[in-house]
Amino acid sequence: MQVTVANSRVSGTARAPPSKSYTHRALLAAGYAEGALVRGPLVSADTKATARAVDRFDGDAERVDRDWEITGFLGDPAVPADVIDCANSGTTMRLVTGTAALVDGTTVLTGDRSLRSRPQGPLLDAVESLGGTARSTRGNGQAPLIVDGPIEGGHVEIPGDVSSQFITSLLMAGAVTDRGVELELTTELKSAPYVDITLDVLDSFGVDAEERTNGYRVAGGQTYEPTDGEYEVPGDFSSTSYLLAAGALAADEEVVVEGARPSAQGDAAIVDVLREMGAAVDWEQSTGRIFVERSALDGVTVSVADTPDLLPTIAVLGAAADGSTHITNAEHVRYKETDRVSAMAEELAKLGASVEEHPDELVVHGSDSDLGGAHLDGRGDHRIVMSLAIAGLVADGETTIDGAEHVDVSFPDFFDALADLGADVDR
C-alpha cells in the first residue's frame, strides 16, 4: 500500500494503541498458565503470530470482543503438528523458541524473508547449554530454526548486546522447568527496559524472577496464575512517540494523547527527549494523558541503548530541529526488521535532511536540512513507515511512502489516527 502525506497542521485527541511488547508477553504467559483473559490487547500482525504459536503448542487463542481468551497448556507445550510461522515478528520467534525448548519433541520455526535474516544464534546456543538441541537449518544462526527439548534448566551464559528478547524467552520458559534458569550476561545488556516489562508481566502472572548483579534468575517449578484470571494490557509508548512527535512538529493548537499511563516501558523516555529538545509537553500520569504543542526544537545527544525503537522518531525530530542531533549507542538498532540506522539515514536524505551515518551513531543536522516532499521506501518496517509519515507533515509538498501497510505490525489504525488529527493523508 502507498500513502501520501502532505504538509499539514494537526490538533485534537488521539489514543495510543495497546502495548505490543506487553501483549506478546501476556499472550504467551497465558499460554503457560491454565489460561487467562487478556484484556485490551494490541491486535496486530505481530501479536496474531504469537497467538497462533500458542495454538500450535496445544493452547487455544480466541478473540472475544476486544479481548483475547486464552486456554493455556499449563507449562507443558505439546509437539506442534505443523511448522510455526512467525511471519515478520521477531518477538514471536525469540519468545517461543524458549517454549519450543520445553517440548518433548521437535519444533520448527520460520518467518518471512526479513525475519529469516535476523540473528538468533545466541539463543540457540543457550538452549544447547541448557540441554536441548537447537540449530539453524542454514547453519548461519538465522531461521528457519529446529528446536528439540525438553530442557530441565540450569546456568547459561548469554550476550546482552544482541537482543533482550533472548533473556525474556529464557526467563519465561525457565519458570516451568525443573531447575529454573540462571542467566549470566557476558556483555552489557542493551534494551534493558524490555526485560523490565517481562519481569512486570511475570509478576502479574504470579511468577517470581529477579535481576542479579550480572544477570537474571528465575526459579523452576512455578505456575503461571494471573490475578482473577485476567490481565489488562497498558498503552504503547513506542507508538505514542509518533503522535507526540506529530504534535511537537505540526500542532496547530495542541495534541492530546490518551492511554499513556506509567508502566515499565523504556520508550516513555520520549517525553524527556522532547522536553530536552525544548518541546512544550505535559504528562498527567494519573489520567494517562500527554499534552504537546508545536515548539521550536533544538538538537540533542540521545543514547538509544535501552530504547532502540525510538531511533526513527528522534531522527525525524532532529531533522526539524535547530543544530545537530546525535543518536548514540545505536548499533543494535541495525538488527530490527531492517537496518534502521541506514534506513533512516537514506530516507531522510531523500527528504533533504543532512545526515551522517556511523557504525554506532546517527547524526542529523537539522540546521543544514531543508525538508521537501519525496517518494520514500518504508523498507517493510512499521517504525520506518510511521516516522517518515511524521516527517511528511513538515516537509514542503507531498511525501509518498511505499509499503505503508506494514503499520499493521504495531499500530494498525495509525493513518486513521493521523487523519483524525487533521493531517492530509491519502491512502
pLDDT of residue 220: 98
Contacts of 81 (CB under 8 A, 6+ apart): 56
pLDDT of residue 307: 97
Smallest Cα–Cα separation from 97: which of 163, 161, 19? Answer: 163
Smallest Cα–Cα separation from 154: which of 128, 135, 134, 133? Answer: 128
Q: Which of 267, 309, 381, 408 is the catalytic position?
A: 309
379 is in an annotated binding site: no
Helices (H), 120-236: 121-129, 165-174, 192-204
Are 189 and 275 in a shared domain? no
- The pTM score is 0.89
pLDDT of residue 389: 98
Contacts of 154 (CB under 8 A, 6+ apart): 129, 130, 131, 179, 181, 182
Are 102 and 169 in a shared domain? yes
Task: Show the CA angle centred on residue 391, arms to residues 388 and 394, nearest 5°.
Answer: 155
Are 185 and 221 in a shared domain? yes
Is the distance from CB of 217 to CB of 182 less than 8 angstroms? yes
354 is in an annotated binding site: no
- The domain boundary, picked from 216, 232, 248, lies at 232
Smallest Cα–Cα separation from 89: which of 52, 46, 54? Answer: 46
Are 188 and 319 in a shared domain? no
- The domain boundary, picked from 232, 265, 292, lies at 232
| Strand stretches in 47-180, DSSP E | 60-64, 67-71, 84-85, 106-110, 133-136, 145-148, 154-158
For 323, other C-beta atoms within 10 Å of its C-beta total 15
Distance of CA 226 to the CA centre of its chain: 23
160 is in an annotated binding site: no
pLDDT tens per residue across span 376-395? 999 999 999 999 999 999 99
CATH of the domain at 245: 3.65.10.10
Are 113 and 11 in a shared domain? no
350 is in an annotated binding site: no
- The domain boundary, picked from 210, 232, 254, lies at 232
20 is in an annotated binding site: yes
Helices (H), 179-268: 192-204, 237-250
Are 77 and 217 in a shared domain? yes
Are 223 and 192 in a shared domain? yes
Please confirm, yes or no, whether 377 is among the known catalytic residues: no
Are 93 and 176 in a shared domain? yes
Q: Determine the 3-state secondary structure of 244 from DSSP.
A: helix
136 is in an annotated binding site: no
pLDDT of residue 271: 98
Are 256 and 211 in a shared domain? no
90 is in an annotated binding site: yes
Are 181 and 210 in a shared domain? yes
Return the C-alpha cell found at 79: 509437539
Is the distance from CB of 411 to CB of 45 less than 8 angstroms? no
What angle, rounded to 10 degrees, do the helices at 90-100 and 20-32 form?
20
Over the chain (427 residues), the average pLDDT of each successive run of 10 is 98 96 98 98 96 98 96 98 97 98 98 96 98 98 98 97 96 98 96 96 98 96 96 96 98 96 95 98 97 98 97 98 98 94 98 98 98 98 98 98 96 97 97
Tally the residues of the chain: 427
383 is in an annotated binding site: yes
163 is in an annotated binding site: yes
Residue 32 structural domain:
20-232
Are 157 and 178 in a shared domain? yes
Is the distance from CB of 156 to CB of 170 less than 8 angstroms? yes
CA gap 220, 243 in Å, rounded: 41
Domain count for the chain:
2
368 is in an annotated binding site: no
Are 186 and 287 in a shared domain? no
**Beta-bridge partners for 215:** 184, 212
